[in-house]
Structure formats: structure tokens, C-alpha cells
Structure 1
Amino acid sequence: MPRKDYQEQLEELEDDVLYMSEVVLERFRMGLDALERKDEDLAREVIEGDHEVNELYLDLEQDCIDLFALQQPVAGDLRFIAASFKIITDLERIGDLATNLGEYALEAERDVFPDVDIQSIGDETLDMVEDAMAAYAAQDPEDCFEIAERDDDIDAHCEAASETVVRDLIETELDEREGIDEDDIETFMTEVSRLLLTIRDLERVGDHAVNIAARTLYMVENDDDLIY
């Protein structure tokens, strides 16, 4: 195959990875919106859209395999393809977490802890993924380190949110529910569990953003410092 065609394949792979990130980020935004508004139609759209994300992943996975097998890339090209393969895996998992949000939105009955700002944490994690993909497109190693540092803030916000839920649950909520029907308590506890799972999923999105930055750094500078 002519070298020009090979370079075109590499450029097309990058474009397709960036397109997949746009689809995944949009699905996650929709999941957050569905959760905030308790919008069942939007939630179902997010859940059903997981099929599109999976199809994109499988197509790009095959493209990477074909490039490995047919072109036998070396040095920078090899790192680029390997990094792209790992990045689409992280994107697919973010898509799965978006589906989780859709499912939570379908099941949620009310906001049990309005003091926990899920939307703010979600926006922060989405910004991290967007910036990680921008670093991938620009091949910017400095931004990769900056994204990894921001993950500490996400972890702290998620930990604080979880502690708020647990503290209020212990100190206030159950005391106020003494004498209330057992079914109501079970429903309340289910909502609490769902909120904690949502916080956990948002934290995982931040972790995937760091993974993307780590693979980008490796791709650009052959530096595995952020890979863990």
C-alpha cells in the first residue's frame, strides 16, 4: 500500500477517535440532564444510544488491528495507534457510565440530598475529558500533566459529596424517619444508594480522562509517567 494511503489512514483514525469522543461526551451530557430533570424520554435516548457508541468502538478497534497487522508501524506511528486503541477503550467505558446515568434517571423518584451538586461535579469531569481529547488532538504533553493534577480536585469533590450523604444519613435523615412505614424507608435507602453510585461513576469518568491524558503523553513523548 502506498505511503500516502498509510498516512491518510492514520489521519482518518485520529479524526474518528475525536468523533467518537464527541458522541460519548454528548451522551454523558444528556445523561446528566436526564438525571437532573427526571426526564424519562431523554434517559431512554441515552440508554438506547449506547449501541451507537459500541459500534463506533468496534469499528475503530478493527481499524487499529488492521493498521497493526498490515502496516507494521514502528516508533511514533506505533505509539499513536496503540494510544488511540487504549483511548477508544476509555471512551467506550465513559459511554457505559452515561448509560448508567440514564438508568438512574429512570429509577430516581426525587432528590434526596439537594445539597449534593451532581451537575457541578459532572460538568467538571466532562471538561476534563474534553481537555484530554484536545491534548490528544494537539499532541500537547503539558496539558496531559495538568489534566492529571485536576483529578485530585475531582476525587476531593466526590469524597466530600459522599461524606455529605453519609453524614446527613446518620445524623438527620434516619432520625426524622422514625415511625415511618418500612417501605418508605426502603425507598429512601434505594435513592441514597443510587446517589452514591452516581458519585462513584462521575469519579470514574475523571479517572478515564487521566487515562486518556496518560496515553497521549506516552504517544507524544514515549513517557509512561502518568500510566498506572
Structure 2
Amino acid sequence: MSRNSYQDDLDRLRSDVLTMSDLVCDRLRLALDAFESRDGELAQRVVTGDHEINDQYLDIEGDCIDLLALQQPVASDLRFVVASFKIITDLERIADLATNLAQYTLDADRVRFPEIDAVRIGEATVEMVEDAAVAYAEGDGATPREIAARDDEIDDRCRRANEVVVRNLLSAGVAVDAPESVEPVLADVSRVLLTIRDLERVGDHAVNIAARTLYMVENDDELLY
């Protein structure tokens, strides 16, 4: 394979990763919109569309394997291909979390906690993913560290949200003599806690993407864990 063709393959890999990132972020925003508006039809679109992202993941995974096996890249090219493969793995998992959020919307009768703004937390995590993807596209080694710092705030917001849910549940009490009325409430509370947990995980995956970008650009494993 000529050098030009090899470089074209690397450029196409970068473009495909960014296309997948755009789609994943779009699906996560749709899931957040469905969650906020209790739109079951919109949530179902997210659930049924997950296969499209899975197909993209498998296609890009195959391209990464081909590049590693046939071209045997070294140094910065090797770091780029490996980082791309790791990044699409995180993107695929973010898409799964978006599907989870959509499914919670479909299943929930919705116990509301006005003190918790899960949608704003979710939007902050989407922005982290988008910024991490831009850093990957531009070979930016500075933004990944800033994204990792932002994740500390997401973790803190999720911790406080969990505390609100648990505190409200404890203060409401549980009518053990009427389990038929308690169980639906507990199920919805559980889904709220799962929503918070999954949004926190989106932030973690954004940091993973940032960490792989930093390693790709600077050969620095500071954020890898």
C-alpha cells in the first residue's frame, strides 16, 4: 500500500470516529429530551436506534484491526490507531447509557425530585464528550486535563443528587403494611438513582476519551486509569 493510501486510511479513521461521536452525542441529547418531556415516542427512537451505533462500532473496529495487522504502525501512528479503538469503545458504552436513560423514561411513572436537575447534569456530560472529541480531532493536549477537572464537578453534583433522593425517601417513610403502594414508588426512586449513576458514567467515559487523546498527542499517560 502506498504512503498516500495509508495516510488516507488514517484520515478516514479519524473522520469515522468523529462521525460516531456526533451520532452518540445526538442520541444522548435525544434521551435527555425524552427524559425531561416524558416523551415515550422519542425515548423509543433512542432504544431502537442503538443498533446503528453498534454497527458503526464494529465497522471502525475492523478498520483499526486492519491497520494494525496490515500496516504495523509505529510511534505516533500506533498511538493514534490504538487511541481511536479505545475511544470508539467508550463511545459505544455512552450510547448504551443513552439507551438506559431512554428505557427508564419508558418504564417510569416518574417520581419527581425538583431539587435535582438531571437533565442539566446530562447536558454537562454531553459537552464533555463533545469537547473530548474536538481535542481528538485537533490533536489538542491541553483540553483533556481540563475535561478531567470538570468531571470532579460532575461527580460532586451526582453525589449531592443521590443524597437528595435518599434523604427524601427516608423522610417520607415506608408503609410496610401496604407494599402494593410502596413498590411502584421504590421502583421509580431506583430508576432516578440509576439515571444519576449512568450520567456520572458518561462523564467518566468522556474522561477516558480525553485520556486517550492526551496519550495519543503527548505520549502522556497521566489521565489513564
Q: TM-score, normalised by structure 1?
A: 0.96
2:221 aligned with 1:224, yes or no?
yes
Which residue identity is paired with 1:28? Answer: L
State the secondary structure of the residue aligned to 2:47.
Answer: helix
Query: After the TM superposition, which of the residue ranges 107-116 and 28-37 deviates more from structure 2?
Result: 107-116
TM-superposition CA deviations, 1:148-177 (whole Å, max 9, x none) = 111100000000000000011112x22xx6
What amino acid sits opposite 1:219 in the alignment?
Answer: M
Residue number in structure 2 paired with 1:202: 199
Q: Percent identity?
A: 60
* SS across alignment from 2:142: helix
CA distance in structure 1 between the partners assigned to 2:107 and 2:43 by the alignment = 10
**Equivalent position of 2:73 in the other structure:** 73
Separation in structure 2 between the aligned mates of residue 28 and residue 180 of structure 1, nearest angstrom: 40
Indicate yes or no: 2:136 matched with 1:136. yes
The aligned residue for residue 184 of structure 2 is 187
CA offsets per residue over residues 102-158 of structure 1, 9 Å max, x none? Answer: 100101112331221111100111111111111111111110100011110000000
Q: Tell me, yes or no, if the aligned pair for 1:112 and 1:188 is still in contact at 8 Å.
A: no
Task: Give the aligned length.
Answer: 225
CA distance in 2, matches of 1:92, 1:20: 9
Kindly report which structure 2 residues correspond to 1:46-57, keeping only aligned pairs within 5 A, or say none. 46-57=46-57
Return the letter of the residue paired with 2:98: A
Letter in 2 for 1:75: A
What secondary structure, in the 3-state scheme, does the structure 2 residue paired with 1:130 have?
Answer: helix
How far 1:37 sits from its partner (Å)? Answer: 1.3
Larger deviation, residues 196-205 vs 114-123: 114-123
Give the Cα separation in 2 of the matches to 1:137 and 1:111.
Answer: 41
Equivalent residue number for residue 86 of structure 1? 86
Gaps of 5+ in 1: none
In structure 2, stretches of 5+ residues that fail to align are none
Deviation at 1:184, TM superposition (A): 1.8
Q: In the TM superposition, what is the alpha-carbon distance from 1:209 to its structure 2 partner?
A: 0.4
> 2-side partners of 1:31 and 1:184: how far apart?
28
Deviation at 1:182, TM superposition (A): 2.4
Q: Cα offset for 1:41?
A: 0.8
Alpha-carbon separation, structure 2, partners of 1:17 and 1:180: 54
Indicate the residue corresponding to 2:14 in structure 1: 14
Alignment of 1:99-114 (within 5 A): 99-114=99-114
Matches within 5 A, 1:115-154: 115-154=115-154
Counterpart contact for 1:38–1:108, Cα < 8 Å = no
Deviation at 1:10, TM superposition (A): 0.3
Q: Distance between the aligned counterparts of 1:5 and 1:149, measured in 2?
A: 39
Distance in 1 separating the partners of 2:35 and 2:112: 13
Q: Distance in 2 between matches of 1:73 and 1:179?
A: 63
Where does 1:149-168 land on structure 2 (aligned, <5 Å)?
A: 149-168=149-168
Amino acid at match of 2:121: I
Q: 1:6 to 1:158 in 2, by over 3 A?
A: same
CA contact (8 A) 1:158 1:199 kept: yes
- Is the contact between residue 112 and residue 191 of structure 1 (CA under 8 Å) also seen in structure 2? no
